[in-house]
Every structure is written in structure tokens, then in C-alpha cells.
């Protein structure tokens, strides 16, 4: 009885926060201009483009925890036609559909959207060629995060890929901020712990790394200054405290293959 009550309390907080996830948290960080939206799309290509490039345009892709639709926009731009997107937040799905229509009217109704819990959706779904868990598993308990990775392995076709992004807990200064700035974050990852989960779930050919910094497209003098200063700053900090310069970034990317 006590365990049931604890579980219900956990479901209460998650249901409340995810119901208003966009308006209570993500809206302040969401792109609010075409320039910032395009920078997000450029970052998506910069971070994940190499993994999608090896697949046919008809590859069946699942974006689990699709958020506001930037990955769907990118995939459609790249010519993919079999895209499925699921999110537990109705607000996020509304924004995703809005963004596709706003930034490219021809993309309206080109993606299959589902309002559902990711794990429940996967359990009842067919297999996919690529499953994306971008900014997702940090929102789950360790137990549920690992179960979702294992379930993703089972739901991939042979030679399919899982693509994961999580906050970087190896950042020398901002690891705590990256994690605690979102109350719904529950599990933290380093490159080692993410690799551990992928290997234990059966994935091979791992590529687990820090997400590379994307320079700003120069539009004003401050952009030129940032582009010049950030690499110098990172190299200096790396030298002083003896950490890899590429560890000074917000996120870690993990990719695994089902053989």
C-alpha cells in the first residue's frame, strides 16, 4: 500500500509537469525567430547528420520524445518520408505541428504524431530502422531509462541505430546546472555510464562523444567575437584544469547499432 502511494505521488508530479512542459519550462529556451530556428536545424545536422546519411529516404524513423519538432523538420528537409513522433506532452505536440506548418507549409501532415507515453508506445509498435531518444532518458529513473534502451534494442530492425542525447555531466563547471535546471531530470550520464547502458542492452559499434560546438552564423560583430573567443576560452580552461577541451559543452551523444 505504501509503495503504491509513493508511485502515485511520482506519477502526480510527472503528469503535472509534463502536461505543461512547454509553458512551464521549454518555452523560455525555444527558438523565437526564423534565424534561431535555422540555427537549431543546423545544429541538428551538425550533431546527427552523419548517422542519418547512411539510410534510405524510406527508412522508418521514430523520434521518441519529439518536443517541438525540430528533428522532424530536419528529417523532412533531408527527404525522409516515414517519420513517427511521440511525446507525452500535448503542449509539445501542438508546438511541433505548429512549427512544421509555420516554417515550411508543405510539411503540414507529413509526420505521424502520437500523444502517448514512449515506453507504452514502443511496446505496442512495429520495428524501426532508427530510434531517437534525444533529450529523453535523463527524464526517467535509472530503472526506466535502462528499460527503455533495452526495449529500443528489441524494437530496432537489424543494422538499426539508436541515437541518444543527454546532458553532459562531465562538464567541468556546468554539469550541475545542466542537470538541475529542469526539475523533471532524474538520471545523469557521463560518456562511460551511457556506454555502459548501451553495451549492456546489446548495442555494438558505439559512438559516444561530446556534442561538438557549432559556430554562430555571423550576422553582427558580436557573432564574430563569440566565434573567435569560445574556442580560445575552451582551450585555455582545458589547459588550466586538465580536462578535454571538447568536454566544455552542454551535451553527450551516444549512438549504438543493432547487429
- Domains along the sequence of the chain with CATH: 21-257 (3.40.50.150)
DSSP symbol at 58 = T
More confident position, 160 or 233:
160
What integer pLDDT is reported at residue 8 of this predicted model? 58
Is the pLDDT reported for residue 143 higher than 90?
yes
What integer pLDDT is reported at residue 235 of this predicted model? 85
- The mean per-residue pLDDT over the stretch 78-99 comes to 96
The values of phi and psi at residue 11, to 5°, are -65, -35
Contact 238, 213 (CB under 8 A): no
Is the pLDDT reported for residue 106 higher than 50?
yes
What integer pLDDT is reported at residue 9 of this predicted model? 65
Amino acid at each position: 500500500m505504501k509503495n503504491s502511494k509513493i508511485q502515485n505521488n511520482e506519477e502526480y508530479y510527472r503528469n503535472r509537469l509534463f502536461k505543461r512542459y512547454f509553458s512551464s519550462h521549454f518555452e523560455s529556451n525555444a527558438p523565437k525567430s526564423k534565424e534561431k530556428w535555422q540555427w537549431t536545424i543546423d545544429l541538428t545536422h551538425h550533431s546527427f547528420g552523419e548517422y542519418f546519411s547512411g539510410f534510405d529516404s524510406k527508412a522508418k524513423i521514430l523520434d521518441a520524445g519529439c518536443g517541438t519538432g525540430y528533428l522532424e523538420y530536419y528529417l523532412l528537409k533531408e527527404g525522409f518520408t516515414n517519420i513517427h513522433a511521440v511525446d507525452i506532452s500535448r503542449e509539445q505536440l501542438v508546438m511541433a505541428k505548429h512549427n512544421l506548418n509555420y516554417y515550411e507549409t508543405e510539411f503540414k501532415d507529413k509526420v505521424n504524431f502520437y500523444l502517448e507515453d514512449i515506453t507504452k508506445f514502443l511496446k505496442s509498435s512495429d520495428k524501426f530502422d532508427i530510434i531517437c531518444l534525444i533529450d529523453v532518458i535523463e527524464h526517467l529513473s535509472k530503472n526506466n531509462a535502462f528499460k527503455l534502451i533495452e526495449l529500443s534494442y528489441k524494437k530496432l530492425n537489424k543494422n538499426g541505430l539508436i541515437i541518444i542525447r543527454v546532458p553532459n555531466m562531465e562538464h567541468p563547471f556546468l554539469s550541475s546546472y545542466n542537470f538541475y535546471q529542469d526539475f523533471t531530470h532524474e538520471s545523469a550520464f557521463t560518456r562511460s555510464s551511457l556506454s555502459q547502458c548501451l553495451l549492456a542492452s546489446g548495442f555494438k559499434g558505439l559512438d559516444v562523444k561530446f556534442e561538438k560546438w557549432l559556430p554562430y552564423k555571423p550576422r553582427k560583430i558580436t557573432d564574430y567575437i563569440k566565434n573567435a573567443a569560445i574556442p580560445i576560452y575552451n582551450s585555455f580552461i582545458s589547459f588550466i584544469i586538465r580536462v578535454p577541451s571538447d568536454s566544455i559543452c552542454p551535451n553527450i551523444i551516444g549512438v549504438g547499432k543493432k547487429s
